Amino acid sequence: MDTTLDDPLVGRVLDGRYRVDARIAAGGMATVYRAVDTRLDRVLALKIMHPDLAADAVFVDRFIREAKSVARLAHPNVVAVFDQGTDGPYTYLAMEYVSGCTLRDVLRERGALQPRAALDILEPVLAALGTAHRAGFVHRDMKPENVLIGDDGSVKVADFGLVRSVDSATNTTGSVLGTVSYLAPEQIEDGITDTRVDVYACGVVLYEMLTGAKPHTGGTPAQVLYQHLNEDVPAPSAAVPGLPAALDELVAHAAARSPELRPYDAAALLGLAREARARLSEAELDAVPPQARAQERSATEDRTSVIPRPVGQGQPVLHTSRLERPPVAEQQAPAQAPPRRVPQRGMLLVIAAVLLVLGIGGGVWYINSGQFTKVPNLLGKTEAQARDELSAAGLGVKKVDRKFSEAFERGTVMETSPGGGKQIRGNGAVVLTVSRGPEVVSVPDLKGRPLEEAKEELTKAGLAPGIVTQAFSQDVAQGSVISTDPAGGQKRAPDSAVALLVSKGRPVQVPSVTGKSADQARAALEALGLKVETAPEQVNSPSPAGTVANQSAAAGTQAAAGDTVTLTLSKGPRQVQVPSVAGQDVEVARKTLEALGFKVKVDRPFLSFSNTVDTQSVPAGQSAPEGSTITVKTKGL
């Protein structure tokens, strides 16, 4: 029966702008309408929160804050959020209207898809989730109902942001949100929801696209939850023989029971999906799947449910998701325990299933059993203080987010999830949101500040010390900051690097100490404020033994006070054997001797016109100091 005519919102104009034309779908959290933006004359979708949830100020505040964040995703595969507002009792989101159907509609009509079609849907979904994950968002409720396929073939992910707000609201009752067929084991057991729960759900969705059926089924939610915790998602080829191994491996990676074995986020899984596609031939991609084995579907599997506390721990609330029919009566089929020994966690699930069969408890009892602890109020505490207080309460830190804040000092806790005073399982974990300080910070004036002190000031201001370079300065003390880049007073985003130019002090002109004794050289250099070291090895040189042969800083260069000059001492000249050059042409003899390190002097007697060496001052075969002078004499008349 069409209930659109009975809906009081149809025909109404919200905020003087959005004309509600028809109801599209009704869910547990909100109702979705097709509407027209009368200002821009475009069709869009309005998601309007149910009045009972809109009365919760905390829920509305989170809903609005998350909606604003999701609106910044701006990804072609994410259903865009255009506007948010409130008109009387109605809190709404104005979103992109996608004319088409959901992936659930496609699976109901066609069953298993060809591998190419499955990957063509999976990859844009992962691209959207990957962008969200890198921006700090987790969808938490991925399923075929939230994958929209437009008439133009576009693929878009819906319900970003709302699930996060719902999670924050329902944590106060200790409930588990999500469609049970797609919940990751850690969501069920510990309430942990990081990027890998979306990866797990995508693995289940891929399995369903390839086989036409869910990997885990049962007559009750408890039976499905038990399988998530204790049974691996089977290989798709077990249900559809002939599917390539690459697709089995892709499902196994994404839907691994241990989160450590899954890709870290959807972007990483997207890379694996593209690698798997590249391994498939055209024939494998376009293979028409046989009719996958039929499996019964319980209405309890296909709806997004809030699995409630037992009797006495809050009223159970059940919600149906968008485009889903109302739940039918559950089939009373007993849970089938596996033949192996049932662990304690599995035993609780079996007990829960039996309770459901008997109509006792009205929900999944095991999820909420155990000790609950109140989360301490951590606002304004440093991250270290918050961790200490949580540890003292027996709680852990799930992750730390960092956001800008004008109200909270940098490094202090500005938000926790769950919030202070809320109940959490005794071994649970808390998400801390730590302030990054203002979104724009001013670079402090650091001229004249010692380097380490300047680095501390930058860190305190929310900036990062950058590259340190040195230069001589006549007016800034050695080791202190001459200038920064950017300069003091300029505005920069937090964590931006600031380069520091540090003074080397006044320049010192290095003198020549070559040939001086070690003591004379040391005294001359230390008088200028330089440090002196002596090299352990001595070298042969023309300088006398014990005098300076070399200095590390050349004469005439500039150094800073406190710089070190290393002196290398001489062990005297090297002794070189002198060859015979008698009878050689004078120029040939000169080149021979100079090549050995000698200096050469030519002695020509009066009226001698000969160019032939007659005698040499050092006889052939004897040794002479390298660098000494050898005289060659020509023959006279």
Domains, the chain, ordered by start: 1-97 (3.30.200.20), 108-358 (1.10.510.10), 372-435 (3.30.10.20), 441-503 (3.30.10.20), 507-569 (3.30.10.20), 575-634 (3.30.10.20)
- Of 426, 425, 431, 397, which is closest to residue 174 (Cα–Cα)? 425
Confidence at residue 201, expressed as pLDDT on a 0 to 100 scale? 96
Distance CA 120, CA 115 (A): 8
588 vs 286: CA distance, rounded Å: 88
Maximum distance among all alpha carbons in the chain?
Answer: 140
Q: Shortest CA distance to 598 belongs to which of 627, 576, 573?
A: 627
Q: Give the Cβ contact number of residue 544 at 10 Å.
A: 13
- Class of residue 568 by CB neighbours under 10 A (exposed 0-12, middle 13-18, buried 19+): middle
pLDDT score, position 46: 93
Residue 297 tokens read as 């579907």
DSSP states of 437-473: --SSEEPP--TT-BHHHHHHHHHHTT-EEEEEEEE--
Residue type for position 120: D
Q: Which of 44, 46, 37, 51 is nearest to 88 (CA)?
A: 51
120 in active site: no
Handedness of CA 113, 117, 120, 121 (dihedral sign): negative
CA–CA dist 212, 236 (Å, integer): 10
Cβ atoms 82, 45 nearer than 8 A: no
Which residue positions in the chain have pLDDT lower than 50?
Answer: 1-4, 161-178, 292-371
pLDDT score recorded for residue 5: 52
- Residues 619 and 582: their CA atoms lie apart, in Å, by 10
DSSP secondary structure code for residue 300 in this structure: T
User: What CA–CA distances, in Å, run from 160 to 66, 138, 391?
Assistant: 9, 8, 32
Given the residues 6, 52, 141, 563, select the one marked as catalytic: 141
**CB neighbours of residue 525 within 10 Å:** 23
Q: What are phi and psi of 267, to 5 degrees?
A: -65, -40
Q: Is 565 within 8 Å of 550 (Cβ atoms)?
A: no
Q: Are 375 and 424 in contact (CB under 8 A)?
A: yes
Determine the pLDDT at residue 637. 63
Residue 221 pLDDT: 83
At 303 the pLDDT is 43
Look at residue 190 in the predicted model and tell me its pLDDT.
78
> What pLDDT digit, counting tens, does each position of 176-203 carry?
444 788 999 988 887 778 899 999 999 9
**Considering only CA atoms, which of 463, 455, 464, 462 is closest in space to residue 502?**
455
As beta bridge partners, residue 600 has 630
